Amino acid sequence: MKEFKQLSEKYLIGNYARFDVAFERGEGVYLYDTEGKKYLDMLSGIAVNSLGHSHPKLVNAITEQVKKLIHTSNLFHIPPQIEVAKMLVENSCLDKAFFCNSGAEANETAIKLVRKYFYDRGEAHKYEIITFTGGFHGRTIGSLTATAQPKYHEGFKPLLQGIKYAPFNDIKALKEAITPNTGAIMFEFIQGEGGVNPIDPQFLQTIQEIAKEKNLLIVADEVQTGIGRTGKLFAYQHYNICPDIITLAKGLGGGVPVGAVLTKEEIAKSFTPGTHGSTFGGNYLSMVASKVVLQEVSKSEFLSNVEENGRFLFNKLKELGLSPRGKGLMVGVSLPEDKKAQEVVKKALEKGLIIGTAGGNTVRFLPPLIITKEEIEKGVSIFKEIL
């Protein structure tokens, strides 16, 4: 580890505050570091490893694909990309898919799509997008601007024009933020990085009413909540809503980098050849991985199990006197003032448990979707011991 740290400091830009651990292999919900220590992973690479580590079907599919073809570019048809698009569309309320490499890129795509859609309609003035405090949408300059958290903006101004902020779950403030230039409202159903904050159903209903009345687009950032994380394939399926645009990433590739945007037929028409693209987006490797993930996660029994195990995790945390929030296996808890989330996460790592932090003094649980009740019980037991 001493050598890793020295080499990292010498050759890598120091924009990550890393823990002094390096992993060598993983199996199921467990990771093993370079010194052989075993860890229970209840963070899954920040909601990425949806099928855990070294899932046999995922390993086999990727291995076989690498032997044949990894990448060709979107100058040509890519059969597995068509298959994944079909699976996403047929399991959602939307009509078309676009693939990129990350959640930030997916959200950047959504911002561009909103602008292009209204431009094509002769309403170029409707370029403004409203986002909400506590939200997180990525780190490209557009998605960073959409992230209404000042701490991420420091040193990067001026930001993109046309993004306005309103307090999350504040109906009055939302209504006041609407102008004739507003084109879309963009939000997460559960704010992940902001502290695992669920959207209020009444606030969501207001968004729908305003969007219908003012002819605005609804953009749902499901980068973290999508692909089974909340117990539904998409978080919007918990509510009576069909967004106009959905962004996806994280768990979609099971560990392989991939992002996606789903939208309605009418809106998709604005992306004509040459208007937007991605060299690596939707290549053979990422699509084969995504296909396996979707085949597994979209099964009704799989999603029911996520919901059931999510309730189990909620109840176990409540037994500790905590107030968990979230849905499915996306769970956050605010710690008492005398406990610091970052310190708790560090002590958990020392005891072989991987968890994360989020906004405020929040500890976040994002385990692989394949986790069992026994493994949840083990993780909460370690957490309890630390508290």
Give the architecture (CATH level 2) of 58-297: 3-Layer(aba) Sandwich (3.40)
Q: CA 247, 329, 381: angle at the middle one, nearest 5?
A: 150
Task: Check: CB of residue 226 under 8 Å from CB of residue 254.
Answer: no
Catalytic site includes residue 221: yes
> What local confidence, expressed as pLDDT, does residue 337 receive?
87
Task: Check: CB of residue 346 under 8 Å from CB of residue 329.
Answer: no
Q: Residue 262 above 90 pLDDT?
A: yes
CA 66 – CA 71 distance, rounded (Å): 9
Catalytic site includes residue 151: no
Handedness of CA 158, 159, 162, 168 (dihedral sign): negative
Catalytic site includes residue 136: yes
Catalytic member of 187, 221, 232, 327: 221
Residues 6+ apart with CB under 8 A from 101: 257, 258, 259, 278, 280, 281, 286
Provide the residue ranges of all domains of the chain, joining segments of one domain with +. Answer: 2-55+300-386, 58-297
Is CATH 3.90.1150.10 the classification given to domain 2-55+300-386?
yes
How many residues can be counted in the chain? Answer: 387
CA 302 – CA 227 distance, rounded (Å): 11
Catalytic member of 116, 250, 316, 327: 250
The phi and psi torsions of 132 (rounded to 5 degrees) equal -125, 145
Mind listing the pLDDT tens digit for each residue in 91-120? Answer: 999 999 999 999 999 999 999 999 999 999
Query: SS3 for 275-328, per residue?
Result: CCCCCCCCCHHHHHHHHHHHHHHCCHHHHHHHHHHHHHHHHHHHCCCCCCEEEC
Catalytic member of 136, 234, 365, 383: 136
- pTM across the whole model: 0.97
Q: What is the mean pLDDT of residues 229-254?
A: 98
CA 54 – CA 63 distance, rounded (Å): 11
Mind listing the pLDDT tens digit for each residue in 280-312? Answer: 999 999 999 999 999 999 999 999 999 999 999
Task: Check: CB of residue 368 under 8 Å from CB of residue 28.
Answer: yes
Instruction: Please tell me what DSSP assigns to residue 336.
Output: P
